Amino acid sequence: MLDHKVSEALEWLRLAKDKFREFAYGDEAQRTARPKIGLALAGGFARGIAHIGVLRAFRDAGIPIDCVAGTSVGALIGAGFCSGVSLEKMQEIGQSTTFADFGRWTPSWLGLATNQRMEKYLARMTPATTFAELKTPLAISATDINAGVTIYYLNGSLAAPLRASCAYPGLFVPIQYEGRTLVDGFLTAPVPVEGALIQGADFVIAVYLEAGGIDNPRTFVDIISRSFNIIQKHTDVTWRQQADVIIEPDVSSFAWDDFTKTPELVAAGEAAAMNAIPEIVAFLRGRKKDSAA
Q: Which residues are designated catalytic?
A: 72, 184
Backbone CA torsion sign across 176, 119, 192, 3: negative
88 vs 98: CA distance, rounded Å: 18
Contacting residues for 28 by C-beta, under 8 A, at least 6 apart:
none
Largest CA-CA distance found in the chain, in angstroms, rounded: 62
Q: DSSP readout, 180-235?
A: EEEEEGGGT-SS-HHHHHTTT-SEEEEE--PPP--SS--SHHHHHHHHHHHHHHTS
70 vs 184: CA distance, rounded Å: 11
Q: What are phi and psi of 157, to 5 degrees?
A: -75, 145
Q: How many CB atoms lie within 10 A of CB 4?
A: 8
The one-letter amino acid at 258: D
